[in-house]
């Protein structure tokens, strides 16, 4: 069956450390993989997009990797801050689709000062 | 600052009543999506439109849900009759999808603030 799994429902880390979130998928062939951030009571906000032929993308303190052999994406936040506390969602866009996203259930990140 | 807007932000209604949710996508975006979010299921796609044409609504119960896009500035999601299991947060998102087939370029989606629906 097809599924997207994010490694854990919750991740607690200390301020200043690197947070690493995992997204694994099964029986999908995504053309794109995206990461979104969602704060309580708000809609998801786009962070990064990586294409199937890309290995890594960076944006400021964020880095995402995409391994289509392992069917896995890793999302890193370096020098984490309490303001990074939120739920992070990975989402797949399938090739040939109309751009609709298939979401994982998210990982709730808490960064403690 | 362009953003997706949704109304109402909150809706409490009784079972059997009709509910209509509205969305104004970002001007210039050609694709509009409706998602539903619950604790159990996470974010699920209900329906989407490209250039106002419905592309897929297989994610929603056909007998009670309907989605329309009467013009480029308005998308609606209607539930009639509503049931307690419809209680969730409903998000509208818009985006720009360019090209077609193997030359399709997908871009990020911009989400609205959501409509929190409670059906008693």
A12, A21 in Cβ contact below 8 A? no
* Pick from A34, A43, A45: CB nearest B114: A43
Instruction: Check residue B109 and give its pLDDT.
Output: 92
* Pick from A89, A95, A98: CB nearest B31: A98
Interface test with A, best of B10, B56, B95, B106 (most A CBs within 10 A): B106
Q: How far is B55 from chain A (nearest CA, A)?
A: 8
Share of chain B above pLDDT 70, in %: 97
- What does the alpha-carbon distance between residue A82 and residue B81 come to, in Å, rounded to a whole number? 43
- pLDDT confidence of B56, banded at 50, 70, 90? confident
Q: Shortest CA distance to A22 belongs to which of A113, A89, A84?
A: A89
CB contact under 8 A, B113 and A42: yes
CA B28 to chain centre: 17
pLDDT tens readout for residues A11-39:
999 999 999 999 999 988 888 899 999 99
Instruction: Check residue B5 and give its pLDDT.
Output: 97
> B81: cis peptide before it, omega within 30°?
yes
pLDDT tens readout for residues A97-108:
767 789 999 999
């Amino acid at each position: 069956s097809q599924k997207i799994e994010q490694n854990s429902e919750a991740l607690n880390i200390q301020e200043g450390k690197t947070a690493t979130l995992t997204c694994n998928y099964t029986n999908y062939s995504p053309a794109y993989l995206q990461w979104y951030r969602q704060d309580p009571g708000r809609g998801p906000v786009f962070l990064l997009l990586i294409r199937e032929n890309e290995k890594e993308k960076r944006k400021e303190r964020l880095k995402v990797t995409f391994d289509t052999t392992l069917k896995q994406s890793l999302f890193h936040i370096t020098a984490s801050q309490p303001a990074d506390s939120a739920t992070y969602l990975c989402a797949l866009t399938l090739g040939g689709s109309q751009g609709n996203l298939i979401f994982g259930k998210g990982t709730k990140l808490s960064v403690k000062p | 600052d362009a953003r997706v807007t949704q109304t109402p932000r909150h809706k409490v209604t009784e079972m059997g009543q009709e509910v209509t949710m509205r969305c104004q996508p970002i001007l210039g975006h050609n694709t509009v999506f409706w998602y539903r979010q619950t604790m159990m299921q996470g974010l699920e796609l209900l329906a989407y439109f490209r250039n106002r044409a419905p592309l897929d609504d297989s994610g929603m119960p056909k007998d009670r849900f309907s989605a329309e896009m009467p013009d480029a500035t308005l998308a609606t999601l209607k539930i009639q009759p509503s049931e307690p299991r419809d209680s969730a947060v409903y998000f509208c998102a818009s985006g720009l999808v360019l090209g077609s087939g193997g030359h399709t370029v997908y871009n990020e989606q911009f989400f609205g603030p959501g409509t929190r629906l409670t059906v008693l």
